[in-house]
Structure 1
Amino acid sequence: MSLEQILIESSIDPEEDIDIIEEIGSGAFGVVYKAILKKTGSLIAVKKVSIESDLQKIVHEIEVLKSCNFSHIVSYQGTYFKNNELWIILEYCGGGSLGDILQKCKFTFNEEQIAAICKEVLQGLSYLHKNNQIHRDIKAGNILLTDNANCKISDFGVAAYLSDKMLKRNTVIGSPYWMAPEIIQESGYDQKVDVWSLGITIIELAEGSPPLSNIHPIKVVFHIPKQPSPKFSEPDKWSSNCKDFLSKCLIKNPNERPNVEDLLEHPFIKTAKDCSQTLYEIVSKSKEIIQKLKRKSFHIENQNENESESDSEIFSSSNSSTSTFSSFSSTSFEINNENEHEHEIEIENEKKIENKTKPSLQKVSRRTSSVQKIEIGKLIKYRNVMNNLEEYLYQNIEEICSEELTLLVDIFRIKKETEMEIAKNKFEIRKQEIQSILNQK
């Protein structure tokens, strides 16, 4: 499928068919909205992607989604094109992602819930792997829940096709904390990288974050191949079946690591219930919490706008300054006398303003997280590091890089300088040869 084919299929104005309700998420390649399909009144998810983004990956994601038709994979419902944006229409999953439940609601999952999640994710991966696909980015944030608490694998932006002729892939891609050792080592890999990522996701679900989450993502790629396979931080809380299942997912040698079909026969999975039985209550609670957080955020934004308008009125005219200041003061007085909940909002608002004045290190952190998926592969391949990250790394080397990474960057620089010197010498030799020929003539 090409972009031209997609555009031909999506020539209808999306706003004729769709009403956008609200933003529900964002990723590397676009923003996702909750929307309504006008003809049926059914809820859908709309992923808006600028065609100025990585077109190859966008087209690839649509191809993968179109080829999938399975209960535990988010379904694709079509594409529209408007104002240099592709509107990718997907199945709406009202329960949000497991990542949202972990991060926004501060919930973690018990063994019964994790077993149910693993069972449905493995069933989805089994479908993908039988169709020669590798997801390459399994993590809590890419596992969605329906209103009925069924699991759906989503986000196929970095999925890969593995043909019969291509027994291994070599591209360095994925989210660093969940990345299998063989991807980082560039030793070639297959569908078993998804098994490793599932193992890391189990720890993420159990403890709220993946292993090594306290380490910068750029540095993580050095730790994963060297360190022993991760384990639960409190192993006594988990059954022997659960720990055995996790240890099998996180076998470092991919030749010894079981595949998805093997894991579906493991006792931890064979005895697991469906997600609809074990997760329904947590989905209901998390939806309530997320709605409250949205209302709270909306209130803070409105409060900021009102205060900004009040400030502008104060300085806009000297004639009206007294009355405006009185209005502003009374507003402040009301806020100071509101209940504890409003006081918390004020504190959060102050923190928000304070965050804007934090030093450039915070900007570095945000910048790094936004490019980490794209740049991790470039970090490992020295030519791409030199061409795309050299300036960034040197500017922020003390803040984000270990001594090991500093040394590595120096090695890359020396290697590049050596190559330049060799090229220069070859040029001089060739120049002399040409000059010699001209002199003979």
Structure 2
Amino acid sequence: MVRKRAFLKKDPEVIFRESQALKTLKKGPFITQLYGTFQSEDYLYFAMEYLSGGDLCKLIDDADVPFDITTLRLFAAQMVIGLEYIHSKGIIHRDIKPENILLDGVGNIKIADFGLAAQNVFGNAMTKGCKGTLFYMAPEVFLEMDYNHTVDYFSMGIVLFIMASFRYPFLKDEEDRFDFDLRSSICCTSPDYTAEMDIMLKDFLKKLLCKSQIRREKLVKNLREEPLFIQIDWKDVESGEARPPFHVEPPQEKPRDTLTVFEITYSEAKRKPRLRAEQQQLFKSFSFASEGW
């Protein structure tokens, strides 16, 4: 639920970028599903699939120790499947991070938040623009160079590294966050791999976190064939039969035996002026309903 007025101050196209990407990715594996969009005089609404497992950020925060290789392998496989589908539709996510990876009630991932996505980037086409979250950006993004879909794999590599070690790959010390040039670190510093890290995972991460986009594109071309995935049955993963080895605690809610209707009233004295007709026209094509809703 988002306020229309907030987008009038920025770029109304942002809200359409999110809805258009989700429409394009309907029924895609490991991607949050959009059922429909609708609007009122003041608000835009997204009707999304309900995911009770929270997000990956909370899962990491709640974990006592780094994730084991079995969990990391399945998580990585689901990410590969999801990103392959996204990229096949000409979309680059550009903001892969723990907060944008949601979990269903079982623990399967769902990639979310396509508000910064680049669209219609097919084949050898490139795009540009410093979009995303700096800590998870590939070097070519914040250097404002032309780039392709492999920036999402770089971000995925950072997420996996954090899950495997509970540390950020490019800053040697947590205190460096405040005085170290993060951009320089991402461009020039080698990831600080731990001695305990699984060898196959380490080799996989080196390919994802390759700083050269040209080399990275070659290295990620056949990710399903990586040694890390030798124990993965891709058909089982894609069908949802491969269940995550960890338990996801759903949020605690009271049983709902009755429907509660909330009525929201506005004080006319405090209410801002209504949006003008020409402003409402900016949102005229927003509403839609999927086939199954």
Instruction: Name the Cα RMSD after superposition.
Output: 2.6
Q: 1:268 aligns with which of 219, 224, 228?
A: 228
In 1, Cα distance between equivalents of 2:241 and 2:104: 9
5 Å-filtered alignment, 1:273-352, equals 274=237, 277=242, 279=244, 281-284=246-249, 287=250, 291=252
**Counterpart pick for 2:197 among 229, 238, 259:** 238
Asked which structure has the greater RCO (Cα within 8 Å, sep 6+), the reply is: 2
CA deviations 1:163-221 (Å, max 9, x no partner) are 35982212011111110011122221100101111110111212335333651499422
Give how far 1:150 is off: 1.7
8 Å contact kept, 1:61–1:156: yes
* 2:208 equivalent to 1:255: no
Alpha carbons of structure 1 residues 150 and 196: separation in structure 2 relative to 1, 3 Å: same
- 1:66 maps onto 2:23 in alignment: yes
Aligned twin of 1:223:
185
The 1:164–1:239 alpha-carbon spacing in structure 2 relative to 1, beyond 3 Å, is closer
Distance 1:142-1:108 versus aligned 2 partners, 3 A rule: farther
Structure having the higher helix fraction is 1
Contact 1:170 1:188 in 2 (8 A): yes
Separation of aligned partners in 1, 2:207 and 2:103 = 26
Per the TM alignment, residue 269 of structure 1 is displaced from its structure 2 partner at its CA by 2.3
CA distance in 2, matches of 1:259, 1:160: 22
Give, in angstroms, the shift of residue 131 of structure 1: 1.2
Q: CA deviation at 1:226?
A: 2.6
The aligned amino acid for 1:208 is: F
Letter paired with 2:16? V
Aligned equivalent of 1:86, options 32, 44, 67? 44
C-alpha contact (below 8 Å) 1:103/1:208 kept by paired residues: no
Deviations 1:332-389 (A, max 9, x none): xxxxxxxxxxxxxxxxxxxxxxxxxxxxxxxxxxxxxxxxxxxxxxxxxxxxxxxxxx
- Tell me the TM-score normalized by structure 1: 0.50
Q: Distance in 2 between matches of 1:245 and 1:165?
A: 24
| Over 4 Å off, 4+ runs | 104-107, 216-219, 273-278
Cα distance between partner residues in 2 of 1:49 and 1:130: 29
Aligned equivalent of 1:133: 91
The secondary structure found in structure 1 opposite 2:107 is coil
Identical counterparts, % of pairs: 28
**One-letter identity of the residue aligned with 2:244:** L
Q: Which residue of 1 aligns with 2:289?
A: none
Higher share of residues assigned strand: 1
Aligned pair in 2 of structure 1 residues 162, 231: CA closer, same or farther (>3 Å)?
A: farther
Q: Matched residue pairs, number?
A: 239
TM-score, structure 2 normalization: 0.73
- Can you give the 5+ residue segments of structure 2 that lack an aligned partner in the other structure? 255-293
Please tell me whether residue 154 in structure 1 is matched to residue 128 in structure 2: no
Describe the SS at the equivalent of 2:151: helix
SS of residue matched to 1:243? helix
Shift of 1:60: 0.5
Distance in structure 1 (CA, Å) of the matches to 2:248 and 2:223 = 26
CA distance in 2, matches of 1:108, 1:83: 47
Q: 1:165 to 1:110 in 2, by over 3 A?
A: closer
**SS of structure 1 residue aligned to 2:246:** helix
Query: Is the aligned partner of 1:191 residue 2:149?
Result: yes
Q: Is the 8 A contact 2:2 2:44 kept in 1?
A: yes
1:202–1:62 distance in 2 versus 1, CA, 3 Å: same
1:179 to 133, 137, 140: 137
CA displacement at 1:119 relative to structure 2: 0.3
What amino acid is aligned across from residue 224 of structure 1 in structure 2? Answer: I
SS of corresponding position for 2:213:
coil
Write the distance in 1 (CA, Å) between the matches of 2:106 and 2:241. 6
